[in-house]
Every structure is written in structure tokens, then in C-alpha cells.
Amino acid sequence: MRIGLLTDGGYPYATGESRLWCDRLVRGLPQHEFDLFALSRSAHQEDQGWVRLPPRVSRVRTAPLWTPEDGTLRGSGERGLLARLVTGGEQSYGRRDRRRFAECLTALATAICTRDEAGTAAGEGTGAELFAEGLHGLAELARERGGLHLALRSEDTVRILEAASRAPGTGRTVQSATVPDHLAFAAELERALRPLSLDWYDQESLGAVDLCHAASGGPAALPGLLAKRFFGVPLLVTEHGVPLRAHYLAACDTPYAPPVRALLAGFHGRLATEVYRQAALITPGNTHVRRWQQRCGADPAKQRTVYPGMAAERFGRVGEDAERLGAAGDSDDAGGPDTLVWVGRIEPAKDLVALLHAFAEVRRAEPGARLRLFGAPADGDEATAYRAHCEALAAQLFPDEATGAHAEGVCPVTFEEIGGPEVPDLAEAYGAGGVIVLSSVVEGFPVSLVEAMFCGRATVSTDVGAVVEVIGGTGLVVPPRNPKALADACVALLRDPERRARLGAAARARALELFTVEQNLAAFRGMYLELISRTPVRREADTVDAHGDPLPFATPPEARLLGHWTQPGPHLRAQPGRARPGEPEPQHAREPEPEGVCAVAAGPAGDGDA
Amino acid sequence: MTRPDDPAIPASAQERPAEIRPRTTARRTPGGASRRGPADPVKTLLHHHRDLCERAVDPLEIAAGLEAHGLTDRTAARYRHRDVFALAEELYARVPPRTRAPAAGPTTGSVPVPGPDADARAAWTLLALLPGAACLATAGVLRVTEGVLGDGTRALVTVVGAVLACLALRACLARGPLRAPEGAGRAGMYGCWLLSYAVYGEELLAQVMTGGPDGPWDGTPAPLLGLAAAVAPAAWCAHLFTVHAQRRLAGSRALEEFGAGVRPLLLASVTLFLGALLPLLLLADLGLGGSGTPVAAACLGVLFFVARLLAAHGLPEPGTAALAAACAVEAGAPALVLAARLPGLEPLAQPVNALVSTGGTGAVSALACGGAAVGLLLHAAFALSRASAHTRS
């Protein structure tokens, strides 16, 4: 099976996000062939080169989404002087194409500018329909005629945007947009819609894959949307974070005025809705992502939570030691029994200040306790300042202590880096502690918590992000920004070695069940097969040979089993009310194959029976 | 949970050193306040996240911001909401809308004004003066060395001066307000042709009409000097136009409003340039002994200026086309006269003859450049009144 893996600023670039996961996926499913379709984010990223690709990757197509330094697109002046004069200066389309462009863009802009009425679920209502119509119209125009980037920077675009934002029913913020706002939004729209102009949409590229797997939502899923539209290729969307949420958080730093941000938010929201609507399956990385997706109109029936897989092997030794010692009842030897360990990157979101105050409480109850903080080297001014602040606070709260009058004193709180002689690797760091603490106030998917679980350690963590669903009762959870509660939980665990061992063993069992690479791969393997059996791509070219004669066995015999083997479950059946006239039916609602092919392919089989 | 009546807490609170950021304690208040039970717990939250709520364009943005601050669905339950989204919607609805309405304030500040730096402005002004200086120096050297040096040396001086002027022109077209971000296509070629015609064209046409050409003819370098000196005013006029157009763009609410405001600006800047160009041309004429009023050279200057202004706004094609048209007319005049020498084609020379008899040999290039300049100016009045033309500067 050929999988088209769509990435945006990630794999196969060496500096990409989620490249580890993609790499494991590509290497872990050797029975499938992978075609990579990668969008790059910056010139710097392209200069950094690629990671080493396994031989299963048969093809790599890349395209830049960033603008070159001088602000112009390459190839924008490819048309001859006469041709440009005939078509009227900067206008790149003829009259008919221009009208088509204007219609599609009007639909798109109207959908972006208007907000659904209260009570309408995301993904339903006229806005989503309009957006889909406009987006796919523009995609078809770009595929047939090209030149979309020129048209999107023309005056027509600004005029259409202005008209759409003035229409009744738009929000107050959008209504207040001025001409520079429209210009800024037009430029951003052109950048966001650049995947529509790629040359990936032909029979050799995206038309040749059996399944599109988008490694993130947003721009990366856009080619997948079009592949579904043009070739009926099913789309699987995996999201470890929510692109819409990331957009909102990043939008604070942009210099844009509120109307531009409102328009951009409208665009990204509608795009997310459309991606979720068209995707055959959506795999959020945790419940938090799942909730956001539902908020944006994802059908819960299509969602399958697939936790990111992590390599459990490197924690195997420490984890097994913990299990063995725990079973022998000799749990005091599992790490430093009085040692609390924190592992992570030192930054304000980790709230180490609260941890230090909590540890002051712990010391009052358990004077022999130690706290070891393993932090990656700080990068950036803010992180460096925060680390210095924490170290100063630790020195102030905990003076150096010595065992005797002639011994050298040591501070009970140490800041250490992994890779030193004492703690050569991450597993040793977790192994050094009796209890692992996580004190963050903001957290996405808590990687260090999962690592601690692999090591079979009891944990105390704050109730943020996906912590509760990860820990699932195999560790203690306290409210964030509450040093007292954190301290109480730590003391309770420090005083009860048996409970510590029990929780550690349960945590390790849970982690091995849920968060290994194997379970991640197994989940995707199953989903690939499910999708391909449910919504196979039908290509006319596959059922006939070079002379146009039908090929025997081009369709599997299962196609003639009782009932329709390609028919989806009732939850995925296209609802007749939602299908628009004039649009091709969704692939999975179609009859399994064209009648003629079916009859001809049935011919030889019938002969054989006779 | 922190409880005020807990005996452990006051002690630890007193021990807390002073450098703890007040943020930490301040954040704690909404939770505490809600437990102590004011009627409206969300109000406190609103107060703490007022900046976020006022900036937000969307309830989801508030939800994202709240989550980034560590709020979860379980915290939202404290505010009697099902989840963060519902809480964010209430916050969004409760922020007074008037704080979201004024959009013009930050917009005006965020539009980059080109050439804000006085140093950069001085740099390109200096560069723009160089072509004129090179031409003037060459003319001066030629004037002083008249009769002193041989013909070969004088030709060498001329060539060196021309090369220097070309290099200076290139340098000042590569930056500053005359820079064309998307290149100018073949406009350079046409420009060279038009300049050569301005120097040698009249003489050539006169010789052709009187049965020539009869060998080497003398050029009239005065227009060249005047035009080279006019590069600096051209740069300043283009700069003024760009700056004022940007200012107008930043304040305009509608496209029509902007277009109506920019057209007078364009006319004013072209007029200003013409006002600077004419004295320069007259001075050059006086200095180099030209012939009469330099109408053709003035038209050529305006044509160049408008074409470059369009190219600087990312629209090089119309300018190139206008230059090409002027070239065609100028080349056509001698060609028609020559063609009329063939038997049976005599009528071909009539329009040229009529033109030259009414306005002299300069009328041909005046007509060509003037027509092209007027046409291009009309086009520019439409093209440059579009807002999309002013994004790239």
C-alpha cells in the first residue's frame, strides 16, 4: 500500500517538529510504501538538510511555504510582455477565469467574515458549505490555470474582501477593517493558500497514493483535502497539538490589527472545520486535542485517540529493577528513598518556585529529604534569568548542610545536567529518585511524566494539560500553584515505600500498555487497513491493461460477497440532507465500482464456475 | 488547596522571600475569591485577564489564552462552567465591546513608512546626484580641453564619462524610492534607444530628409545632461509620492476613498517633477548651446519618471510598453522617409514631412514621447490608485 505522508515544517527536514514520530512510523510499518509530501517553513530549515530516509520512502516532494527575502514569489514574471499586455497589465486571468476566481473568492471571503449563528454546531450551517465551495473552486482553478498567487495579490481580491467584510452579518471587529487590513489579510491568505498552487495534484504524485496521512492539521492537511477532492484518496489526520490553538497563541505576537487577526482566525477556524469534515479518520494525540477538534466540528465517531509512542527500551533496565525490588519488598533500594527528582526544561511554565516552596514544607516533615533538579541547558534570555532566579531562591531557602563539624556542607537542592559522570543518561536521572515530581502550571502532553512511568516510579504531578489522562490513577495529582498540596502528597509517598512501589509498578504497566511505540504503530497499522478496506481508491487505469482490456482479478473477489464490503458503518454514511447537488458524492457512499467493470470482471469468474 | 485558616500557611507565607513575583500570588486570587464566595467569580477572572479578553477577536482565542495560563476544565467548573470554552464565551461576551471597536489606532502605527531613516535618505539622495555630476564633469572636461587634446583623447573622455554616468544611474536605481522590486524588464534597452535618439535623432532625421545620411553627424548632448541632473528630483518626487500614498493608505477605510485621494497626489508629484526638470533642461541648453525650448526632452523625462514610478510599485509592464511605443514611433519616422524613396511609396513620407514642416525635427520625438507619457500617465492614474500597488514598497 502506498501512503502519502503530508507534513508541514517537519519530517524529513532535520529541524522539523514531530519528525521523530514520522520517522518511527515510516520505519515501523515496512509493509507500506511511503511518499513524502513536505512543506518547508523557512530558508533556514531547508538549509539544515534532511534526516536519513529509510528505503521504504519511495519519493519525496517538497515545496516552500515561506516567501523569499525580497518579498516576491519566484516565477511571478514568467508571462511574456505581449501576453501580459493583452490580459491587461497585472491581471493574470482571462475574463472567464477572472469571474470564476471572483465567485470562489467571494464564497470563501463570505464564509471567513461571517460567524455562524449561535447554536449552530461547527461543521454545519451555510458557512462551512460556502468555505468548502470557495476553497475547492480556487483549487480547481489553480490546478487548471495556475497563477493563483498573482490573482490573490491583485486589486480584485482586496475589493472582494472589502465587500465581504462590509456585508451584513459580519462581526463588529471585521466591519472595522481598513484598507491596510485588507491588504495584510490578502497577503496572508495568499501565503496560506499556496499549497493549492503546488504541482502535486496529478496521477503520478498525490493521485498515485492509496491513503493520505497528514502529520498535522492546518496547511499540511490542505493537499490531503485536495487529493480527496480530485482523486478520492481517503484522508487520515493526526494532530498532536491543535493548529488553531497554536495560531491563536502565535497571533498575539504578530503586528496585525484586530480586524486582520479576526479574519485570520476565521480562515483557520473554517479550514480546520473543513479538514475535520473531509477526513475519514482523525487521531488526536490526547483528550485535550480531542476536545478542541470537537469544538471545531470534528465528528466524535471519526476520532480515535492515539497516544504518541515513546521508546521504552532505554528505560527498561531502571524500570525492571524497580519491579524486581518492589516485588521483593526491598523497595528502599529503588533509587534514593528520600530523593525527589524533577526532570525537564527550566522555564517559568514549570513553576519551579512552587516546587521549591513545596520542598521547604517537605523538609519540615522529612528533614533528610533531597531534591534533584535535572534540567536541560537553558537557551534564551528568559530561561537563563529564570534558572538564575530559581537557583538564588534555592540557596536562600536551603542553606548548605554538613554531616559534622569538619565535613563540607552540601545544599539539599541540586541543579544538575544529564550527561555528567554521576548521571550519564535520562533513565539514571529517573532512577535516582524515589518520587518524581512534576510542578508545571502549563503542560501539553507531559513527556517527562511518561518517562517516569516507564521507569516504574511513583509520581506527584499537578493537574494540568493531559496529566490526568496520562497518569490515570497510577500517581498522585494535586492542583497547580498549590505548594502545600504538592508537599503533602510528596511526604505521603516518601513515608510509604510500599505504596510507592505499588504505584510505580502500576504506572509502568500502564505506560507499557499505552505509550509505547509499538501500540502507536499498531494503531496506525490497523487504521490504514481499515481505511483502505472501507474507502478504496478506484482507478480506472488499474482495472484495464495497456490495450484497454479489462484485467482479471483487478477487483478482489470480496467485492462480490453478500452486501457491500466497502460500505461504511452507519455512522459514516453520507447523510442525504448534507450532500449538495452538483457535488460528486462522497467516495464511501458510492457503489463499490462502476457497473461495466464489475460485469466484465465477473465474466471470467462466472466461466470458471461453469 | 490553600486554606486561610490552615495553621501551616501563615508561617510559610511569612518565610517567603520578597522576590517572589507578585504574579504568583495575584493569580491565586480568583480561586480564593470564588471559594470565599463573591457573587460573581468570573468578574475577578475578567479583571486578571482583561488584556487577553480585550485583545481577543474570538472566544476561542480567550480559551487558548486561558489554557496557556494553566486553566483547565476542572478550574472552569469553579466558575460554574462546563468547560473552558463556555467560560471563554462568557468572558468574551462580557468584555465591553467599545474596547474592541477602535481599530484605526494600532493600524496607523503598524504600517511601515518607507525610508524612515534619515541616513538612508541621505544615501540615496547622494547617489541620485551622481549621474548628473558625472555628466556635468564630462561636459566640463570636454569644454576646457577643447582644442588642447586630440580627438581620440576627447572621445576617450566622453566614453569614460558615459560609463561613469551609467554606473551611477544603475546604483541609484537599485535602491531608494526608484528601486523596482520586480525588475523593469526590457525598459533599460528602450531607455537607451530613446536617449540616443534624443542626442542624435534630430540630426539624423534632418539628414535623411535632405537625401542623406551623409556620414557622421553631431549630437546635441544638452538633453542628456539635463535628464541626468533630473534623477535626483525624480527620486525625491517618487519618495514624496510613496510616503504620502502610504500615509493616505493607513488612514483610509474604503478603496474608493483611497483611490480618489491618490490620483491628485500622482498629478502633483508629476507636476513637481516637471517643474524641476524644465529649469534643469534650460540650464543645460544654455550651457551646452542647445536649440530652443527642450519640449522633446521634457516629455522624455516625464515618460521616464512615470514608467519608473510604476515599476517601483511592482508594475513594470505598462512603462516598458510605453517606452517601446515611443521607440517605435521614433524609429518609424526615418524609416518612413527612407521607404518613401522607393518608387511608388512616396506618400509614406507625407506625415513626417508635415510634422517636421510645422514643428521642426524635434516634433517627432516630442510627439512620440509626449503621447507615450500622456498615455502612461492616464494608465498610472488608474493603476497607482489601486491599494494593491502600494503593498510592496
Say if residues B195 and B297 touch (Cβ distance below 8 Å).
Answer: no
pLDDT computed for residue B24 by the predictor:
40
pLDDT computed for residue B111 by the predictor:
44
Is the same domain home to A346 and A442? Answer: yes
pLDDT tens for A522-549 read 999 999 988 888 776 666 666 677 777 7
B106 neighbourhood in chain A, CB within 8 Å: 257-258
pLDDT(A192) > 80: yes
Residue burial B15-35, b: 16+ Cβ < 10 Å; e: rest: ebeeeeeeebeebeebbebbe
B82 neighbourhood in chain A, CB within 8 Å: none
| Candidates B51, B247, B258, B388, partner chain A, best to mutate (most A CBs within 10 A) | B388
B186·A90 Cβ contact <8 A: no
pLDDT computed for residue A485 by the predictor:
93
pLDDT computed for residue A120 by the predictor:
64
Q: Which of residues 52-71 of B touch A (CB under 8 A)?
A: 55, 57-58, 60-61, 64-65, 67-70
HSE-up of residue A360 (Cα within 13 Å, Cβ side):
23
Q: What's the average model confidence in pLDDT over A246-270?
A: 87
B112 φ, ψ (degrees, to nearest 5)? -70, 125
pLDDT tens for A1-40 read 888 999 888 788 877 677 888 888 888 888 888 998 988 8
pLDDT computed for residue A103 by the predictor:
93
What pLDDT band is residue A558 in, cutting at 50, 70 and 90? low
Domain endpoint, select from A302, A331, A357: A302
Q: CA B327 to CA B377: how far, in whole Å?
A: 17
Q: Which of residues 227-286 of B touch A (CB under 8 A)?
A: 249-255, 258
| Candidates A150, A162, A190, A248, partner chain B, best to mutate (most B CBs within 10 A) | A248
Is the same domain home to A261 and A372? Answer: no
Is the same domain home to A385 and A464? Answer: yes
B321·A81 Cβ contact <8 A: yes
For B57, the closest of A71, A265, A396 (CB atoms) is A265
pLDDT computed for residue B17 by the predictor:
41
Q: Does B17 touch chain A (CB under 8 A)?
A: yes
**Which residue would you say has higher pLDDT here, A220 or B218?**
A220
Query: A101 is written with which cell numbers?
Result: 476566481
A353: domain CATH number is: 3.40.50.2000
Q: Is residue A533 part of a domain?
A: no
Q: Is residue A182 part of a domain?
A: yes
Q: Is residue A49 part of a domain?
A: no
Cis upstream peptide for A592 (omega within 30°): no
Structural domain tally of chain A?
3
pLDDT tens for B30-88 read 444 445 556 778 888 888 888 888 888 888 899 988 888 878 888 888 888 888 899 99
| Candidates A155, A249, A464, A470, partner chain B, best to mutate (most B CBs within 10 A) | A155
B113 neighbourhood in chain A, CB within 8 Å: none
Q: Is residue A12 part of a domain?
A: no
The shortest C-alpha distance from A606 to chain B (Å) reads: 60
Q: Which residue of A has its CA nearest to B98?
A: A172
A171 neighbourhood in chain B, CB within 8 Å: 57
B387·A158 Cβ contact <8 A: yes
A179 neighbourhood in chain B, CB within 8 Å: 249, 252-255, 258, 387
Is the same domain home to A387 and A507? Answer: yes
For A85, the closest of B57, B100, B321 (CB atoms) is B321
Q: Does B387 touch chain A (CB under 8 A)?
A: yes
Spell out the residues 6+ positions from residue A384 whose beta carbon is closer than 8 angstroms to its own: A378
Q: In what side-by-side order are the strands of the sheet with A281-284?
A: A57-64, A33-40, A2-8, A211-214, A235-239, A281-284
Say if residues A114 and A170 touch (Cβ distance below 8 Å).
Answer: yes
B64·A249 Cβ contact <8 A: yes
Say if residues A437 and A461 touch (Cβ distance below 8 Å).
Answer: yes
pLDDT tens for B251-288 read 888 888 888 889 999 999 999 999 998 888 888 888 77
Q: CA A256 to CA A189: how far, in whole Å?
A: 14
Domain endpoint, select from A302, A331, A353: A302
In sequence order, which ranges of A482-590 are alpha helices (DSSP H)?
483-494, 497-514, 517-534, 540-543
Q: Is residue A308 part of a domain?
A: no
Q: Which residue of B has its CA nearest to A90?
A: B315
Strand partners, A336: A433
Q: Which residue of B has its CA nearest to A173?
A: B101
One-letter amino acid for residue A469 of the chain: E
Spell out the residues 6+ positions from residue A601 whose beta carbon is closer than 8 angstroms to its own: A543, A550, A552, A554, A555
Eight-class DSSP state of A177: -
pLDDT computed for residue A81 by the predictor:
53
Is the same domain home to A268 and A358? Answer: no
Spell out the residues 6+ positions from residue B89 whose beta carbon is closer than 8 angstroms to its own: B59
Domain endpoint, select from A302, A321, A355: A302
A72·B254 Cβ contact <8 A: no
pLDDT tens for A298-353 read 899 999 999 888 888 888 888 788 777 766 555 444 456 788 999 988 888 888 99
Is the same domain home to A321 and A262? Answer: no
Q: CA A446 to CA A444: how far, in whole Å?
A: 6
pLDDT computed for residue A572 by the predictor:
44
Q: What's the average model confidence in pLDDT over B306-335?
A: 87
B85·A295 Cβ contact <8 A: yes
Is the same domain home to A99 and A235? Answer: yes
B70·A258 Cβ contact <8 A: no
pLDDT computed for residue A376 by the predictor:
78
B69·A245 Cβ contact <8 A: no
The shortest C-alpha distance from A327 to chain B (Å) reads: 35
Total-model pTM: 0.78
What pLDDT band is residue A607 in, cutting at 50, 70 and 90? very low
Q: Which domain holds residue A555?
A: 548-609
Q: Does B97 touch chain A (CB under 8 A)?
A: yes
Is the same domain home to A399 and A296? Answer: no
pLDDT(A568) > 90: no
Lowest mean pLDDT among A375-379, B100-104, B348-352, B379-383: B100-104
A73 neighbourhood in chain B, CB within 8 Å: none
Query: A154 is written with which cell numbers?
Result: 491583485
Lowest mean pLDDT among A81-90, A380-389, B233-242: A81-90
pLDDT(A506) > 90: yes
Q: Is residue A98 part of a domain?
A: yes
What pLDDT band is residue A70 in, cutting at 50, 70 and 90? very low
B100 neighbourhood in chain A, CB within 8 Å: 172-173, 258
Q: Does B366 touch chain A (CB under 8 A)?
A: no
pLDDT computed for residue A437 by the predictor:
93
For A173, the closest of B74, B100, B379 (CB atoms) is B100
The shortest C-alpha distance from A121 to chain B (Å) reads: 14
One-letter amino acid for residue B151 of the chain: D
Q: Is residue A41 part of a domain?
A: no
Is the same domain home to A101 and A205? Answer: yes
For A262, the closest of B58, B104, B392 (CB atoms) is B58
pLDDT computed for residue B264 by the predictor:
92
pLDDT(A590) > 60: no
Q: Is residue A20 part of a domain?
A: no
pLDDT(A416) > 60: yes
Q: CA A431 to CA A504: how far, in whole Å?
A: 12
Is the same domain home to A343 and A446? Answer: yes
Is the same domain home to A174 and A319? Answer: no
pLDDT(B341) > 60: yes
Q: Which residue of A has its CA nearest to B322?
A: A85
For B70, the closest of A154, A258, A441 (CB atoms) is A441
Is the same domain home to A296 and A328? Answer: no
Lowest mean pLDDT among A292-306, B230-244, B354-368: B354-368
B392 neighbourhood in chain A, CB within 8 Å: 71-72
The shortest C-alpha distance from B5 to chain A (Å) reads: 13
Q: CA A454 to CA A518: how far, in whole Å?
A: 14
**Mean pLDDT score across all residues of chain A:** 80
For A183, the closest of B69, B315, B387 (CB atoms) is B387
pLDDT computed for residue B26 by the predictor:
42
For A257, the closest of B106, B255, B315 (CB atoms) is B106
Say if residues A517 and A500 touch (Cβ distance below 8 Å).
Answer: no
CA-CA-CA-CA dihedral for A435, A438, A439, A444, to nearest 10: -170
